Structure 1
């Protein structure tokens, strides 16, 4: 009852020079501080928007080209949309193993204590400098 699996790439590591970004949620629902962060990312001419609305595909772009993916806290969903146990922690673990960082806006997703099976959190993953800038901007 399983499909075929094969290793596409071994020793995955985020490139040092990030070039892609993608963020979920509707722009009018973003918080002011998150919108300010996005403006900083978009001001870099080397960064290209790569958002397909499918987290796995979007994070694969970050793993391949370097950059940042995020599904932020929204005005309509202050805790975010993605679930810590099912989306945040698995993707955070993969990106951190590849030399990147994960964050809920304050700390690594891997350091967030689970209080509920379906607990929702903002999810940000990507290159260290982009996640550091995010955390500074959201402060």
Structure 2
């Protein structure tokens, strides 16, 4: 690494100095995320050597088999963030209801939603997985969390980010002033600034990312869109298909190279598969902060009003021109 060494702690402190009204409570959450990411990263890297591979024998609220590493990552995040003192509570993919901060502690001004380990079914075959998170301000004044505190549109997010556990571990986040990436240096155990003010290439690479096994379950518009990618008009630039099956990995590639990531509605899942509060909305905030676009196929993701903690939405996210193209093809469905 060349140039000055900037840790995530130093970077957050710099941002605080630029915003004198900051109280430090928000910083507490981001530092808690970075600590949890280090702990989870260590477990992911040793997954084949310790008893965290395979399913736990239980199902989560969505009826999906829970991986042992899902349970572990969820416990790490709940344990660390529950003690940071800045939160009123948490929403997790692995928990049916809202996680209330113990009444013995004074509630903080923020709420966090997270997917502890996105793509965890890939861990057995050594494919990248990740953590996704989103931070909101508690709206109500009382000590107890209200439903309006939980179901806020993505436009109200104060921060969003993800951690990618791959060949290296990266923490990428935004607080509404650009997107910044930090790479974990295992030698010193610190996240170091490696990408400042990340921008999604536009038009970027002609890459589309989707699970084509569901082709027969797509709407006609979605089928025509993918056919357009497969067979561009004469003289049009060819497209490449890339699909990992872990949203964090697929989106990270899209953020760096451009293209479009899609998880559309199907006849069996007309509402899509990905969850709005702790998967799609945070990625949408990051994408827009990096100059991209995020849609449910009809409208801007960040304008959607959640109706449930685990609400699902179709997802189209990436370079603006390609997301706009997807909306045009889906308009008549």
Tell me the TM-score normalised to structure 2 length.
0.40
Over 3 Å counting, the alpha-carbon distance change for 1:13 and 1:116 in structure 2 is same
Secondary structure in 1 matching 2:299: coil
Deviations 1:62-97 (A, max 9, x none): 111110001000110000000100111011111111
Mapping of 1:1-139 within 5 angstroms? 2=36, 3=38, 4-19=190-205, 20-24=207-211, 26-44=214-232, 45-139=237-331
State the Cα distance separating 1:116 from its structure 2 match: 0.6
Deviations 1:104-123 (A, max 9, x none): 01111100111111111001
RMSD after superposition = 1.5
Structure 1 unmatched runs, 5+: none
Structure 1 ranges of 4+ moved more than 3 A: 4-8
- Count of aligned pairs between the two proteins: 139
8 Å CA contact 2:204–2:259 kept in 1: the answer is yes
8 Å CA contact 2:274–2:315 kept in 1: the answer is yes
In 2: Cα distance, 1:76 partner to 1:7 partner? 42
In 2: Cα distance, 1:14 partner to 1:81 partner? 24
State the Cα distance separating 1:28 from its structure 2 match: 2.2
* Greater length-normalized contact order (CA 8 Å, ≥ 6 residues apart): 1
Tell me the TM-score normalised to structure 1 length.
0.92
In 1: Cα distance, 2:303 partner to 2:238 partner? 31
In terms of Rg, which structure is larger?
2
Over 3 Å counting, the alpha-carbon distance change for 1:7 and 1:75 in structure 2 is farther
Structure 2 unmatched runs, 5+: 1-34, 39-189
